[in-house]
Amino acid sequence: MARIIGARSLQISLGAPLLIKEPEGEFNPIKIAQEEFKEIKVPMTIKRTMPSGEKVVIDIKVGVKQWLNKHSGGII
Q: Note down the domain range covering 29.
A: 2-70
Apex CA 64: angle with CA 35 and CA 16, to 5°? 50
Residue 2: which region, alpha, beta or left (left: phi > 0; alpha: psi -120 to 50)? alpha
In a domain, 12, yes or no: yes
pLDDT tens per residue across all 76 residues of the chain: 888 999 999 999 999 999 999 888 889 999 999 999 999 998 888 899 999 999 999 888 888 888 888 888 777 6
In a domain, 43, yes or no: yes
Q: What is the reported pLDDT for 76?
A: 64
In a domain, 33, yes or no: yes
Q: What is the reported pLDDT for 69?
A: 87
In a domain, 75, yes or no: no
User: In the chain, how many domains are there?
Assistant: 1
Q: What CATH number is given to the structural domain containing 48? A: 3.90.940.10
In a domain, 76, yes or no: no
